[in-house]
Amino acid sequence: MGSRILIVDDDEQLSKVVAATLRIAGYEVKDINDGSLAMGEIASFKPAVVITDLVMPGMSGAALIAQIRSDRGLDHVKVIVFSAKSFEYDYRASLEAGADAFLVKPVANQKMLDTIDGLLTSAMKLSFWGTRGSTPRPGKETLKYGGNTSCISIEMTRDRMFVFDAGTGIIELGRSLAAANRRRKINLFITHPHWDHIQGLPYFQSLYQQGNEVVIHGTGQGKLTLREVIAGQMSHVYFPVAVKEFAAHVYYKELTEGAFEIEDLQVKTISLHHPGTTLGYLLKGPGGKTVAYLTDNELTLNGDAHGRKRLVAFAAGADVLIHDAQYLDSEYPQRVGWGHSCLSEVLKLAAEAKVRRLYLYHHDPSHDDETVAAKEAFGRKFFADRGLEIECMAASEGHSISI
């Protein structure tokens, strides 16, 4: 690996153990036990990662983080807080001050190594929680690709989590987050409020957990604001719990087509061809990698050339394109105007945009695993026949990748 790591911790015995673990993994490591010496060591040793305790003689970890982040020449240095303090206040304060990760002592060696690796590669973890369109389809015929409706998550450094759509897949995501027993800030992006994209939201456990902060991004519909749209499905007629009973801090931010900075990251939106107001999203991660999420978008056969060019420009060169591919080509003529795409048009878009990886998404509820697998195989052959190095996969529930 070769990267340099500086450990700043007054627990000399523990710092020696951590240093030994990191050296075995291939890192060049130096450890010091006085926070006041850290900036000098950073200047001379030039580490890629600083692991610091919070409570130390000479200088606290919080003060050290502040000094590192005040020096623009150290923007590339990743900071991990490694502390016995497990209070939520310290966790949040450290991340807000500029730490990239927070680990509570003691920590498993693999957890430490995975955290460092994620920071150095600026990796984003993309996970599929729901891949189905229109309605859920649980059962033995959908075990491989999943039966829950639309939801993906993207986790990044500084414990940032972006979630896209809140179909039934978000329920399992909520269970996973609750099991981790950590308060966090979640940015939830809704493409549009059709039922299969919001039906899991009332059951999302993170909304009922005190200390969480959830920012819901999306667009209003006609005269209805985004908040009114979300609250509407939770009126007493349809659901016994109202939005005012959320225990988390919940905020609503309306988006239009454009470019935004959210959590220090770039997010672009584009209007999609689907009934009602629907947004597609493109996220540029901390390492410059991009994910385009374009579900519920109808690419018409020999249709609007201008609209297609806009989409190609929007997703151009994306590391990952997730696109609605609900219909087989043979099905599409009977479903024109329903707001979803047929397979071949999605493949053409990916080829024109020169993306690196395409995920076929929003599987039709009538399609079993065998049908979805056939679409995946068709897509792979499509790119291979044209000599294109585009990886094609059918999105499957539970699948995660690092980008």
Pairing of strands 185-189, 161-164: parallel
Closest CA to 348 of 306, 276, 403, 299: 299
For residue 202, is the peptide bond before it cis, meaning its omega torsion is within 30 degrees of 0? no
pLDDT the model gives residue 33:
92
Chunked mean pLDDT (size 10), the chain, 403 residues:
87 93 95 93 96 92 94 91 88 87 90 88 89 96 97 87 97 92 88 96 94 94 92 84 87 96 94 95 92 95 77 97 97 94 96 98 98 98 97 97 89
Task: Name residues whose C-beta falls within 8 Å of residue 48's C-beta, 6 or more positions apart in sequence.
Answer: 3, 4, 5, 76, 77, 78, 120
Domains, the chain, ordered by start: 4-120 (3.40.50.2300), 125-402 (3.60.15.10)
pLDDT the model gives residue 266:
96
pLDDT the model gives residue 306:
64
Closest CA to 51 of 82, 24, 20: 82
- Encoded tokens for 222: 């006609």
pLDDT the model gives residue 221:
92
Q: What is the DSSP letter of 342?
A: B
pLDDT the model gives residue 337:
92
Task: Name residues whose C-beta falls within 8 Å of residue 92's C-beta, 6 or more positions apart in sequence.
Answer: 183
Residue whose entry in the numeric block shows the structure tokens 């899991």: 200
- Encoded tokens for 309: 């060019």
Collect contacts of 262-271 with beta carbons under 8 A, ≥24 apart.
262/187, 262/217, 263/158, 263/160, 263/162, 263/185, 263/187, 265/156, 265/160, 267/189, 268/314, 270/294, 270/310, 270/311, 270/314
Please answer whether residues 270 and 306 qualify as being in contact, where contact means their C-beta atoms are separated by less than 8 angstroms: no
What pTM, to 2 d.p., does this model score?
A: 0.85
